[in-house]
Structure 1
Amino acid sequence: MSPGKVLESPAILIADDDQTFLHTLATSLRKRGLNPVTADTIIKATALQQKHQPASAVVDLKIGSESGLRLIPLLLSFNPNIEIIVLTGYASIATAVSAIKLGAKDYLCKPVDTLQILSALNISKIPPDNEQCPVIPETRMPVYQLEWEYLQKVLLEHNGNISAAARSLGMHRRTLQRKLNKRSGSR
């Protein structure tokens, strides 16, 4: 190592489509001497995983129109030792169990503050005495997003089989397909 070169702390990947959340959490982590990298899509998150090889990741349950649960096995395939925390604005036992079974270390409900995330990741960087820990802004989840998460949970329970999920939900397969396509196209 050359003199004067500063070792950078391992990267922490933050994957969430909420730009305010990404900015707030990344700023808070940087103030603590950590190295956050942010992505607002699953594709960007996997690209950052390859480039930065983060030691930990904070993944939202819903990223754009996709389930953040899809990202867990992708991250683990690059680094089996990565510590993944899943965040959600609407927690359910089913999605928590799914996240843990897929390999997440923890599952936290929003709103969450930086210290809660660091604690879940067992990172002991604390803020300077004069800095208060910002609480990540709370946003109430709209009904359509709650419905989307529930549909994703049922789809996951049926291994992505739309016909089986639709039967379980008591709706026609085309109705479920339309709901999924409508949500994927909107944003």
Structure 2
Amino acid sequence: MDDQLDIGDDKTLLLVDDDEPFLKRLAKAMEKRGFDVQTAGSVAEGKALAKARPPRFAVCDLRLEDGNGLDVVEVLRETRPDCRVVVLTGYGAIATAVAAVKIGATDYLSKPTDATDITNALLALGDALPPPPENPMSADRVRWEHIQRVYELCDRNVSETARRLNMHRRTLQRILAKRSPR
């Protein structure tokens, strides 16, 4: 593939995510693709691994239980400037994407994503963008994911969620009662 980086001998990959089932699935998938994977479930653990054994590649969740994944990206940039970092988040926003890229992330992907999209982003040559995902989320799905995220952040309080989303409470209740769109 001419549009992808040759990973050569250094196939070290650091995965940082607090979603343990996702982390395990992704680690297994990336190992099958030839990467030497280390995993971390927190910012503190990610920073420690980044300092102890700076990887060539990294995939880091933006929001972790003990802090912001961009803190791990900063440590990776200090310890290994050529590290290619992909930042993942379940809550995509332009401001956080810009912040991630300014700090040194190679790319920024919204969850849900799969190992193929992540591999393409990690191995894209230079500033070339990876190909668009084969199965991107629909606009309805993105809206639904956003509403669910705000709902969870408001401790499942419908009135508070509706206020923050500038939405009528009954409209929100109808949306929450429906199944997620595809």
The AA in structure 2 aligned to 1:34 is: F
Hey, what does 2:149 align to over in structure 1?
A: 142
Hey, what does 2:109 align to over in structure 1?
A: 108
Hey, what does 2:83 align to over in structure 1?
A: 82
The runs of at least 4 aligned residues of structure 1 exceeding 6 Å deviation read none
| Residue 8 to residue 52, structure 1, CA distance change in 2 (3 Å) | farther
C-alpha offsets along residues 13-56 of structure 1, whole Å, 9 cap, x if unaligned?
00111101110000011122211100011111122122322001
Hey, what does 1:63 align to over in structure 2?
A: 64
CA distance in structure 1 between the partners assigned to 2:101 and 2:45 by the alignment: 23
Hey, what does 2:170 align to over in structure 1?
A: none
Hey, what does 1:14 align to over in structure 2?
A: 15
Hey, what does 2:26 align to over in structure 1?
A: 25
CA distance in structure 1 between the partners assigned to 2:18 and 2:89 by the alignment: 12
The AA in structure 2 aligned to 1:143 is: V
| Corresponding residue SS for 1:71 | helix
CA distance in structure 1 between the partners assigned to 2:66 and 2:53 by the alignment: 25
| Residue 33 to residue 85, structure 1, CA distance change in 2 (3 Å) | same
Question: 5+ residue gaps in structure 1?
Answer: 1-6, 124-139, 148-187
Hey, what does 1:38 align to over in structure 2?
A: 39
Equivalenced residue count is: 128
CA distance in structure 1 between the partners assigned to 2:109 and 2:153 by the alignment: 16
CA distance in structure 2 between the partners assigned to 1:14 and 1:27 by the alignment: 11
C-alpha offsets along residues 77-118 of structure 1, whole Å, 9 cap, x if unaligned?
111111111001110000001111111110001111101000
Hey, what does 1:91 align to over in structure 2?
A: 92
| Corresponding residue SS for 2:96 | helix
CA contact (8 A) 2:86 2:107 kept: yes
The AA in structure 2 aligned to 1:47 is: A
CA contact (8 A) 1:57 1:83 kept: yes
| Corresponding residue SS for 1:57 | strand
CA contact (8 A) 2:90 2:112 kept: yes
Question: 5+ residue gaps in structure 2?
Answer: 1-7, 125-144, 155-182
- Taking only aligned residues, the RMSD between alpha carbons, in angstroms, comes to 2.5
CA distance in structure 1 between the partners assigned to 2:152 and 2:99 by the alignment: 18
CA distance in structure 1 between the partners assigned to 2:151 and 2:63 by the alignment: 12
CA distance in structure 2 between the partners assigned to 1:43 and 1:117 by the alignment: 23
Distance apart, 1:59 and its partner CA: 0.5
